[in-house]
Copies of this chain bind each other. A is one copy, B any other.
Amino acid sequence: MKSAKPSREPPKRTRIDPDEGAFLEQYRAEAYARPSVTVDLVILTVLDHDLKVLLVQRSEHPFKNRWALPGGFVRVSDDRNDQGEDLDAAALRELEEETGLSQAACGKFFLEQVRAFGKPGRDPRMRVISVAYYALVRPGLVPLIRPGGDVSHTRWFSVGELGDKHGLAFDHEEILKATLDRARADLDRTSIAFELVAETFTIQELRAVHEAIRGETLDPGNFRKKFLRMIEDGLIELARGKRATASKPAHVYRFARGDAASV
């Protein structure tokens, strides 16, 4: 639309009035066929050193009984005063519906768009373009999750043991892969790791998150050095208390909201 040159504008059945108001009134919104648009959610957490993704089992065709990413339609309208919900809002709504958690109660969720997936045929029913989002849920919240619909059809899967056994519905395999790539790239460019630990955490707990996402073990000594550098940069600060472990109790730290960054 937007930049469409005359030759590519939707066929118009009436002359365009130069006045914009009138133009909008008589614009043929129905001139082009439209796809359905959905959001699909890659909800991730880390449980006992393992990166997990939340899947739901489909109860209807197509892909009946297969596991799929949770998702749903974006609510839209052509009403000029209310065109419906934002993509981000749709993703948040789905996340809350799907987990029973509310952002109001749990604090801001990490929820970011990955990209759009729209291959023809990805949904046999109709043309569907899906905007994928990825969400990070702190392990502490996991037990509080009350799946929106049928409890028995919602489950956490280790991303490691997935991929081989279960063929996911639609192109969700591809969406999941793209999202994991994105998460791994974000890991050492952003602060997403802190979204997967509790309010306070030990060095090893943060390391476990890095290891789970990258899928490999990291040298504890070297990781500590990176950690100490983050403290120097004011990104992390020591918190009160200690965490009991299998051996010597560990210091706990807190993520210092990016504000205290500079000198």
Contact = CB atoms under 8 A, between A and B. Distances in A.
Contacts of A40: 2-3
Nearest to A1: B38
Main secondary structure of the interface of A (DSSP, over half): loop
Interface in A96-151: 97, 113-121, 123-131, 148-150
B118 A115 contact: no
A237 B15 CA distance: 59
Contact of A131 (B20, B78, B116): B116
A185 B186 CA distance: 11
Interface size class of A (residues with CB under 8 A): 35 or more
A207 interface: no
A37 B34 contact: yes
How many copies of this kind of chain does the complex include? 2
Nearest to A118: B87
A33 to B, nearest CB: 5
A1 B75 CA distance: 11
A24 interface: yes
A250 to B, nearest CB: 34
A165 interface: no
Nearest to A22: B61
Contacts of A38: 1-2
Interface string A14-56: 0010001001100101001111111010000000000000001
Given A2-B128, A2-B172, A33-B77, 8 more contacts: A3-B70, A8-B97, A20-B64, A29-B36, A35-B74, A76-B127, A82-B120, A84-B120
